Structure 1
Amino acid sequence: MPDFLDANLRSQLQTAQIHNSIRHIQLFLVSILIIFLYVYCVYQFNFSHFSLYFNIWFLLTELFVGSFWILTTTRFKFKQYTISQAHHWVQFLCLGIGILIATGISLIYYYLPQVNPSFEPVHALTLSALMLIVTQTLALTFLTQRLDYFCLIFIPSIVPYFISQFILTDQINQLFHLTVNFVLIVILLCANSTVRIHKRLSALYLRNGQLIKNAEQQVLRTEELCDQLQNEMNKSKEIELQLQQNNQQLEQKIQERTFDIEQMNRNLENQQQNLDLAHEIAGLKPWDWNIKERHISVSNYQQQKKLKHSKEHSIQLQNIIHPDDLLCFKTALKQHLRAETDRYEATYRVQQSNGDWTWVHDIGRVIERNPSNKKPLRMVGIQRDIHQERTDQERLKLVASVLEQAAEGIFILDKHLNYVNVNPFYEKITGFDKGQCLGQHLFALTSNHKSAQQQNHQAILEQLARTGEYDGELTEKFSTGKELTFWLHINAIQDEHNRVINYIGIVSDLTERKLQEQRLSYLENYDTLTDLPNRFYYNYQLHQYLVSHQDSIQQLAVIRLNIDRFRPLNEYLSNNGGDELLRQVAQRLRLTNTDALFLAHLNGDDFAIVYEISHIRPSIQQHCERIQDAFAEPFEIFGQDHIITVSMGISFYPEHGRQLDYLNNCAEQALTEAKRLGGHTMKYYSSDNTALLEQGIYLERDLRQAIRNDELVVYYQPKIDFKDQHVYGFEALVRWNHPTKGIIPPALFIPMAEKTSLISDIGRIVIRKTAKQISYWNSIGFKNICVSVNVVAQQLQRGQLLSDLDEAIATYQISGESLELEITESSLIENSKTVKILLDQIKQRHINIALDDFGTGYSSLAYLADFPIDILKIDRAFIANIGDGKQDAIISAMVAMGKAMGLTVVAEGIETEQQLCYLEKLQCDIAQGYLFSKPLSEKNATEYLQLHKLIPS
């Protein structure tokens, strides 16, 4: 490329080459289609032989070249494509055409002579040479704008010939190869020359185009200069006219200025009057000292001038100026008269006519000096009364001193709640310097990233905007890292128009008080001996886990730990030794149970540990074994080693209960069992409802739901009179008709109900349903049926049993003789006096009372004598062993004792004829058991009653 081409011209040249190549390649593609069609037709007409690969090549070639032509024509319209896209597209076409040409030459040269005997090698040479030379000539014609385009066609096309020179070496082929090689070299040289010519022509064309554009720009510039020259001439004429106008205006301005000067003189007179008025209002006394003539003109506050001699005025000043200020006054005046200071300024006290001292501020300046020796000739000044200002300044200093020395944080805000001033104590408690505070918003110093804190700040701002006052306790973390609990009081300061102009805040540090509260809280919640939580805090924290963390904590284990034989050891070690042992036990427990939720010292030698149960944590068994292993090491107490063992009782939440007291009771019961076994062991709490719990039924929750849904039903087991074999009555037995599990026997839910208030609810339901059933039986003709209902100790002690009985009797209109209450011996142990009063009240309602399970509990004849018992019920455990001599003797004694005391004797659990005959011989009164019937539903009990009014002997 010529050296005179610059970078811009090079870019334009490349663009022009690509544009020309896009335009020419369309003609080249059409020419290629014609050449390939011509070669195919020549072969088909002269050598009509079917050739599969040659036909495929022809079809694919025509298809691809035609597609290339269509895409080039439609996609690459003028100025509708980018240069980069066009360049890559032309490269792709050239390479593709070259490959197609090479493929065709290979097929003609190598393939066709093999499949067509009539197509001789010389024909192959001729036809392939035709294709090669013509296609390269067309490429030389259309694609020599850039040499790389031509080479992408030329190089693939000559590959078959190049390879054939090494394969076919006969004489004819050698001559042909020499000829073709020469032709190809000539074509390549021509292509190179053509490319260079095209580049030069294009460059010259672009250069000429630039020269033409430059010439046109020069012509335009010349025309613009001519226009500018004409404009300058026009402006010169306008300036001449403007000068004439300005002369006229100047004369007018002089007249106007003369008038303005006169007006200014009048204004100066008015200003002098205003100045005098301002001096009078501001309390200023101007003075004018003519030093040369030694007299001074002094004006009073009413601007009345008085002329005095300098010496007279000096003597008067020395008499009225305070002695402590006189030296300062003289020094300041001398320094200025000697030109040592720029102006005279002094503050001193003068004595009034009434004897009071008043502060004045005196300011003056020498306005005229002798040019030769610089001695002052004239001096003027103003004296101002500053007594009120001085008093206010003293008060402000006092307030500032209070602000600086105050032991509470004080800050001042503007009306936008930005800091205006803070005292040192506020800087101390926040950790910010005064400079860091000023200009900042009230809460800009805090790390208010939490939403709750932001809401609190917003509430404070709203209250200030609403009431102008805030008073409350805050806990804030400042950006300095300090966290502070303080009491904040803010008041709004208003002007005479009741507009808020400032806010004043007082901050009282509550850190020490909070520390005192923490110390009190520690003393309240922690054991001072072991530094562990005490019983109060333990119960509170366990309750929090049970109530507040139900979603996050699914299972808990409560371990109650007790030191074995601590009392004798404590007596041996003395009190101090016992305390030291407890401290070491607490420390060892603390180190052993680092992953426990809670560790507490309840009292004496009693400790509690709470663990969360999880599949990713060790089991409770492993925790307890680790504790026992830790206690295998001796404790050193006052130089002596002591081996200590511990007993542990464990209960689980929610398996053993969901209430705090019940979990603790279960753990205590397990601990008692461990102590009963001799200590140095662990025991898990177990209950009768374990099987049901293992089936995944949460009895307490489901039982409460069952009571609400009326799922409890009453079954009735017949009781037979030995004398007349009639049905004497029934025993009411509760059953749970679970919606999914069917009938659940009472042995699975009654024990759990007895540990909660549910047993009273169940008893109330049984009494009501039994009374309803008795009423029904009475209505169908069975008037003398007596039904017994079991009553537990909780019902006797809660005080609702009488009201439940009265309500049932009144609602269903039955008599008291139709009801019979069965009470166990254990119910009579506690509060026996209260229970006796209650039983007497029940007897007043003609309700029979039976002592159930006699002989299995804390049997005492005193119960039979002291309490109003009507019926004695022998437990099934004795009846089942009839035939054993000792058991027979016990049963015989029970029946005889009941008969002797006038009681009705009932034998329950009769299952065989032998048992029935034996009891009949003993003249037992009532029989009950599976020999007669199992417990029946309401419907079945009615049917039984109708069918078995009389049992044959």
Structure 2
Amino acid sequence: MNLSPLPLAVFVVDADGTITSWNKACEKLAGCTAADIQGQRLDQIIDFDDIGEPPMSIAKRSELDSTGYLRGAGGRRLPVRVTVAPQALDPEQPDTYSVIVIPRAGLVAPRYALIQDLPVGDIIEGLPCVFYVIDQSGHLLLWNRLLEETLEMSSEELPTTDVQYFFDEKDRAEIVSKIMEAFENGHSSHEAELIGRHGKRTSLLFHCARTSVGDLPCIFGTGLDITDRKQTELGLRVRERAIYSSVNAIVITCCENNDNIIEYVNPAFEQITGYTLAEIKGRNPRFMRIEGCDVEEHRRINEAIRKKESVQVILRNARKNGEVFWNDLRIDPVSNIDGEVTHFVGVINDVTEARHYERRLHHLAHHDPLTGLANRTLLQDELKFSIDFAVRNGVLGALAFLDLDNFKHINDNFGHDAGDVVLRDTATRLKESVRDNDTVARVGGDEFVLVINNQPGDEQLADLIERIRQRVNAPIRVAGRDILPSTSIGVSRFPVDGDTVDRVMRAADAAMYHAKTLGKNNCQFYSIELNQAVHEHLMLEASLSRAIGNREMVLDYQPKVDLRTGKVVGAEALVRWKHPENGIVPPDKFIPVAEETGLIVPLGEWVIIEACGALKALAKLGIHDFVISVNLSARQLRQRQFAAHLARTLKRQGVDPRNLELEVTESQLMDHPEEAMEALAELKALGLRLSIDDFGTGYSSLSYLQKFPVDFIKIDRSFLGEVAHDSHAVITRAIIALGHNLKLKVIAEGVETQEQLAFLREHDCDQMQGYYFSPALSQRSLEEMVCSDARLPS
């Protein structure tokens, strides 16, 4: 057997201890030739320290480590350690043993004595890295077990494989080059992946050094597992690329000398601000501040940096070209391994467009799109402020309702474009007739409202109103023709005629109605004579209380249609009053009375029970996925235990909550938004559907709107008017887009024309209701419609 020249003296002996082969290291260590060793017994060349009678057999000696002296040339005796191991894995030589002879201390200088006496095999096996010895042919001579585990190969397979094949094919040329570099230059280093038999990949950092075993040149080396480091580096590269590619501006500052100076900005920062990294590196980011703006936000930033905490603000900065932009800024500290904050990372989201869009929506929510005047929502806010100011300071204010006479006649004879010109001109005249601290609003098609503050007295107020009337009545020239508008005006004074918004507005409305009845084109103040209207109101209140108890109320149902399928998917329950003497009383007459008196609560409970009855009737006809919506009043919403009471009602009626929808108005929600949110959450927990009615006519805070647990928003009919006009269409489109962005379905009510329907379909509105498809129906008619699968033509 020819042994590879290992760096250890190794004999091979048979069971009797006769030497059969050896390596060159044996000859070198003993200082003798092959002829001196051939045929000798082991105990003839090694004097064992534990010699006894009879001498210990080779088999017995394989169970322990022995020491002794190697007989060398010239009578030398070398102290050695002897390890005997059976060669059980060699089928060609059974009952043979390997004898490893290692010099002991005393043969080398003292500084190497410990190394020479160490168990090298144990050390190599215990290394936390792979260990290998490679000859010039590229084959392994020696290795540790960790290499076997990494390559998923046995010790018999490793010596027969060229080491380059342990690597990916694309890396083999580089591997051979590095091995040859070690042979030629004495050392080399490189990183590569070892590939196991079953595909396992291990990234290693290899260090090679040239040596020789006997006369055989070879290299030995180690491979340290750097897989975790590689993964970390990859993660860092990915995060670095993410920062580089981010659409948000990112700036990294370094804490240095009690300052924070820019160390890095990504391309998005350069694009958004106009500054390059080369221009601003080493500067404090505060150079982009706009002095005097957003002082509180800057204070919060400074405080957070001082405390080394995170902070988020929205503020304005200046681009390089001087342009102001809004940014949503998030700043976070970065700590080193010792927990010391060394850097801050700022992420800037340019929200300029969003702020402008929000302002546009805010303006749309508070102003009439045609005239630019305040709408009903803003009017009520301004009126409340004015009334409170008048009450506190003891001054006189007035509210004037103006209604253009015969405006329909103008539209019919001159066209809607001419009608819009009249409305815009009227708005301009009204604004020019009052002071800046007064309010001019448009609350309907041809209805305007003035809030006039701090008047000296009734006489001066009357003169002002008359001048306004005369100015409104002046001719308006449209397309070469003069249009002569006129107006009826009703005026109430505050706090004389009322000290609340509702009372003042009702008084002014009553005065305008009186002006209309007197022949139009005149001005009337609210007076004692108008108390008759109040008396009628009280009579209506008494009759309404009786009507609920006498079941004079009936429900009609206006179908709701899915605009994609044309199918009738639900209906809105509309309460009607069949007065025994006066006939049908419209809802706009008795619902406000019911709200004011609290009768809306029993009336609302009756409506819910009737709607449940209709749902049960439809279920008996096989219609189970139909939804009936019921208008919910503010009083009902504020009732304690309303949700629990409603749950009991639904259970008692045997109605699935998913088939009942409750509609609430914007004003109800925003009156007390926190309470409304809590009440809606309780209703939503029952499984009911919720919708916001008359959306767009009130002021819904966008931050609140996205928190309310509603399913639908309903576009008020006033926004559909003439969708061909961009002034109407823009609001409707905005509401549809807003609803869909908030994951809500959008329902349009009051659809009366093919043009409106086409517009809604074009802009992906979900449902509609209105006279174009069907007026409100009785329960029986509704059942017939649904069972016959009547549909809206596509």
Normalising by structure 2, what TM-score?
A: 0.37
In terms of Rg, which structure is larger? 1
Tell me which of the two structures has the higher relative contact order, counting C-alpha pairs closer than 8 angstroms and 6 or more residues apart.
2
Normalising by structure 1, what TM-score?
A: 0.32
Structure with a larger share of its residues in strand: 2
Structure with a larger share of its residues in helix: 1
